[in-house]
Amino acid sequence: MLQVSRRQFMKVTGSTLAGSSLALLGFSPSTALAEVRQFKLTESIVTRQTCTYCSVGCGILMYSLGDGAKNAKRSVIHVEGDPDHPVNRGTLCPKGASLLDIVNSPSRLRYPEVREPGSTEWKRLSWDDAMGRVAKLLKADRDANFVEKTDAGLTVNRWLTTGMLAASAASNEAGYVTHKVARSLGLLAFDNQARV
């Protein structure tokens, strides 16, 4: 049996009574403590993406802050696995889980660059200029080097002087289309990190 002295008993009941009286007067901390903590991603915008690192192609959710206010600059504040994605169902490996580092890395390439023949300098290009330039160079090389038939008369329709390497951050569907485009041009030297 619990042994309580008269002095201890008076102390406990006294403080309990004082506490109850304060609560009756509205000084109880319980109401404040019961308030629901704010969800840290409230107000953020969610964007679905594919992990940029490897050929598994896990789906990710990227949360960025920026409520549309005129001077608010939106930035990615959190990345997590997409629970609805059929590949990873919400999970990420340690590399994928640290994707926020590459998003905010000062050395991340954010725009196209070109190094002209003989130059040691990289020059920034607009996306339009880069796409136009790539298309023109591809066409010129294909026009000059496309092989329709071998010397023996065998139809091959191949283009061997250009290769293509596609990225991992593509869905199955994007990979399928990329593959079709490359092969329909006659490209044989083609690879994709996602192994289409």
Give me the least distance between CB of 26 and ligand SF4, in Å please: 51
Spatial separation of the C-alpha atoms in residues 50 and 41, rounded to whole Å: 20
Nearer to ligand SF4, 78 or 95 (CB): 95
Ranges of beta strands (E only) in the chain are 45-50, 59-65, 75-81, 113-114, 123-124, 147-149, 155-158, 164-166, 190-192
Angle at 98 between CA 84 and CA 83, to 5 degrees: 10
Q: Is 196 in the site for ligand SF4 (CB under 6 A)?
A: no
User: Could you give the string, one character per residue 48-77, with x where binding to ligand SF4 holds by CB under 6 A and - elsewhere?
Assistant: ---x-xx-xxx-------------------
Asked if 100 interacts with ligand SF4 (CB under 6 A), we say no
The closest residue (CB) to ligand SF4 is 96
Instruction: Give the C-alpha separation, 187 to 160, whole Å.
Output: 6
> Where does this chain bind ligand SF4 (CB under 6 A)?
51, 53-54, 56-58, 88, 92-93, 95-96
